[in-house]
Structure formats: structure tokens, C-alpha cells
Amino acid sequence: MDCATKNGRRRLERCLSPLVATAILISATIVGGIMLYQYFTQTINSFTSEESLVFSIAVRDLGSNQAMFFYTIRNTGTVPVTISKIIVYNGADVACNITVNKFLGAGAKFSGSYLATEVTPSPGMFAVIEYVVNGQTLLSKPVPVTSS
């Protein structure tokens, strides 16, 4: 096969056919594209994985300044969280702190109750969850406390 000419003279050398060269370039491009796709997919997934807590809390007035709180927390996100405590507010004031210290994996749920003294339930009470994810302490969105 003629691959090159030098000074008007033909040189016979071994070389790749254009078809084989094209096949090698297409294969290298496909492999490189797959590697880039996997890299960016993993990078994006690490930024979009998040915690998502579904939280409900109810209170029952027991009289004599005592109240029983019933709560349920579900982690519907993709990363585990540690629930530190539930903070119950009565207006702008903290009515009580419910210490939980519970690890919740992705998709896990737990329920509990807490007897609070020196608390009188009132309309407008709300609660937030203090939780830790990836070493960072965060607060959930406020959730109204319902009466049971």
C-alpha cells in the first residue's frame, strides 16, 4: 500500500487503513464520553443528595400545667440525619425542649412522646427540629402543634 511519497518516489510502508483509524477514533471518543458522564453524574448526585424530614407533633393538655406531646419524624431524604431535639414554641417563647438524640437513616421513621411540666398548650404553638447532617447543625421548617 502506498502511504507517502518522498521526492516524487513512492515509499512502501505499513500503515492503518482509513476505516481502521476511524473505528479507533470513534471507540476512544465513546469511552471518553462514558467516563465523563460517570464523573459528572457522581458529582451532581453528591450535591443533590439531601435530607428531607416530614414531621408532625400533637399535644394533649393534662391539666395542672402538664402536657403530653406526641411526635413522628420521617427522613424521606437520601442522606442520614441525627435528630438532636425538638423545640416547641408558644409564640416567641420556648415552651419546652424535647431531647431526642436519634439517628435516622434514609427512609427511616420513628415516633415518640414526651411529658412536659410547666407547659400549658395554647393555639398557635409550633415546633422545629434541630438535627445534624454531615456535621452541620440545622433547623427544620416550623410545624404547627395540633391538639389531640
**Alpha helices (H) in the chain, listed in sequence order:** 18-48
Looking up residue 91, the CATH number of its domain turns out to be 2.60.40.10
Pair (102, 82) in one structural domain: yes
Q: Does 25 share its domain with 40?
A: yes
Residues 58 and 123 in one domain: yes
pTM score, whole prediction: 0.65
Local structure of residue 14 (DSSP, 8 states): -
What is the reported pLDDT for 134? 82
| Tens place of pLDDT per residue across the chain (148 aa) | 455 555 656 666 677 788 888 989 999 999 999 988 888 877 665 554 455 889 999 999 998 989 999 999 999 888 899 999 999 999 889 999 999 999 999 889 999 999 999 888 888 899 999 999 888 898 999 999 998 7
Q: For residues 94 and 79, is the Cβ–Cβ distance under 8 A? A: no
Which residue matches cell numbers 395554647?
A: 122
- Residue 49: the pLDDT is 47
- Residue written as cell 411526635? 71
* Domain match, 60 and 41 both: no
Cβ pair 92, 53 in contact under 8 A: no
User: CB of 52 within 8 A of CB of 72?
Assistant: no
Domain that holds residue 119: 53-147
Q: Are residues 69 and 141 in the same domain?
A: yes
Is 19 in the same domain as 73?
A: no
Report how far residue 32's alpha carbon sits from residue 53's, in angstroms, rounded to the nearest whole number: 39
- Are both 29 and 93 inside the same structural domain? no
